[in-house]
Structure 1
Amino acid sequence: MADEKKSYPKIPRNNWFLLRDKFKQRTPERVSPSYVATALGMSEASASANIIPPLRAFGLIGEDSKPTDLAYDWRDDSKYAGVCEKIFEKVYPQELRDIFHDPQNIDSKAIENWFARDAKVGQSAARAYTATFAMLLEADVSKAKEQKAPKLKNGGDKPKPIKSSTPKVAATPATKKAVHQDVPSTGETPGTGGKPVFSPKLHVDIQIHISPDSSPEQIDKIFESMAKHLPLKG
């Protein structure tokens, strides 16, 4: 006769802490698939198959789907570690707890291998079992802060550009500098012994495009700024 296949509870860390936050705000009278689906933003079928069973296995809800006394302690930060310890001892066999008991040194790969052998499951299920095991072993309420920020639906509201009172300088770059370098002269220059002299010349063109909507005061400000910051002569 084949051995009965074992199973262990698994629940994503985000769902664990998000549901705990809901309990902290107001503990429901009954934890139904509909309640979980609404609280976690999933389908009722997924809630019924993936969330309700581990909550029962942990002892947070009873067969009647009502929260237990443990659930009320679970939502209390000061009692959180104690609740995790009770669940940890209830759910996992002594052998596993004896081998992996240090929350500061969790060997995820070794734990995955243990679950794969004991429960005869594949890598994906073993990894999910390990994640839940590690979460309960850590018993660290501060891990709730590691939840990923929820994504904004439909891309969310993008930040609006800040409008400036400064006049727009066309649709092209505000100030365009065209630098032209004349071909260097190699002719003979008096006083150099007849030797050719390299004499480069630099010519700078500055083009300013001003919006027709600009007021005279704004235009004056532009040229005042140019006179202040550009090395113009003459």
Structure 2
Amino acid sequence: MPTYPYTLVTGKLKSLLQKIRSSGIPPKLTAAHLKTLGFTSSNDAGMINVIKFIGLTDGSGIPTPLWSEYRGRDHRAVLGKAIRQGYADLFAIYPDANARSVADLTHVFSTSSTAGEVVVKQTVQTFKALVDEADFSGQSGSGDTATALTTGPLHAAPAAASPIAAHGSPSAKHPAVHIDIQIHISPESSAEQIDKMFESMAKHLYGANNPAG
């Protein structure tokens, strides 16, 4: 698992993110550039690693296309995407990591590193501060696939016996079966993906009883 970043000035992350959206794009995000934005404390430089971790800059601090994308109208959704990508291992454990409790996050961060209690606490607070500025709605949370399909459990429950079946009709040997199928489709799914999904369902659910298709 990665070494999760943290900053001692989590309360300033919101201000830095606002500055990223409102000020010009620098050639490189450095401590010197932070000072031009008003972040002059020696502890402020720790926010650079946080910005790198979520992919707004590359490893050397050069702004990525995601930085430019974050400056647009949908900045909260863009930040949500960036957080989900940067903390991919965390979201693999908890697909709803952005909504998880401090206790849950503390458990993951503490068991994935040798950091002490204080650092783990700051790591959790850093993640929470980022999440507060992001929007995760409309994201599938599936992690690896654009389409999340849930067809189970298939609830098979015999229907109430009809009057005929109750009096010993041969139909009593074949009770009615009611099946509920729940399908959750990500808004990001393409038309082709949706078509293939229903094609597969038709094959597996009806193919045995309708060989002719």
> TM-score, structure 2 length as denominator?
0.51
Q: Distance in 1 between matches of 2:99 and 2:79?
A: 21
Residues 27-66 of structure 1 show CA distances to partners (whole Å, capped at 9, x for unaligned) of: 23232211213424333x5344x12222222221234533
Q: Distance in 2 between matches of 1:13 and 1:111?
A: 16
Residue aligning to 2:40: 42
Say if 2:125 is the partner of 1:131.
yes
TM superposition shift of 1:18: 1.0
The answer to whether the 8 Å contact 1:10/1:129 transfers is: yes
Larger radius of gyration: 1
TM superposition shift of 1:115: 1.0
**Which of 84, 106, 110 is equivalent to 2:104?**
110
Residue aligning to 1:60: 56
Letter in 2 for 1:112: T
Residue aligning to 2:65: 69
- Go from structure 1 to structure 2 and tell me whether the alpha carbon gap of 1:124 and 1:55 turns closer, same or farther (over 3 Å shift): same
Q: Distance in 2 between matches of 1:104 and 1:56?
A: 19
Q: Distance in 2 between matches of 1:18 and 1:74?
A: 14
Residue aligning to 2:83: 87
Letter in 2 for 1:91: Y
> Which protein, 1 or 2, shows the higher relative CO under an 8 Å CA cutoff with sep ≥ 6?
2
Alignment of 1:1-234 (within 5 A): 7-11=3-7, 12-30=9-27, 31-43=29-41, 45-48=42-45, 50-93=46-89, 96-102=90-96, 105-137=99-131, 140=134
Residue aligning to 1:147: none
TM superposition shift of 1:70: 0.6
TM superposition shift of 1:71: 0.9
Structure 2 regions of 5+ residues with no counterpart? 136-213
SS of match in other structure, 2:56 = coil
Structure 1 regions of 5+ residues with no counterpart? 142-234
Residues 149-205 of structure 1 show CA distances to partners (whole Å, capped at 9, x for unaligned) of: xxxxxxxxxxxxxxxxxxxxxxxxxxxxxxxxxxxxxxxxxxxxxxxxxxxxxxxxx
Q: Distance in 2 between matches of 1:137 and 1:71?
A: 17
Q: Distance in 2 between matches of 1:82 and 1:119?
A: 28
The answer to whether the 8 Å contact 1:29/1:67 transfers is: yes
- Go from structure 1 to structure 2 and tell me whether the alpha carbon gap of 1:129 and 1:104 turns closer, same or farther (over 3 Å shift): closer
The answer to whether the 8 Å contact 1:81/1:139 transfers is: no
Residues 54-110 of structure 1 show CA distances to partners (whole Å, capped at 9, x for unaligned) of: 2222221234533221111223341322332233223341xx314433368421112
The answer to whether the 8 Å contact 2:80/2:131 transfers is: yes
TM superposition shift of 1:8: 0.6
The answer to whether the 8 Å contact 1:101/1:137 transfers is: no
Letter in 2 for 1:15: K
TM superposition shift of 1:128: 1.6
Percent identical pairs in the alignment equals: 17
TM superposition shift of 1:24: 2.3
SS of match in other structure, 2:37 = helix
> TM-score, structure 1 length as denominator?
0.47
Detail structure 1 runs of 4+ shifted over 6 Å in the superposition. Answer: none
Q: Distance in 2 between matches of 1:138 and 1:20?
A: 12
- Whose strand fraction is larger, Structure 1's or Structure 2's? 1
SS of match in other structure, 1:60 = coil
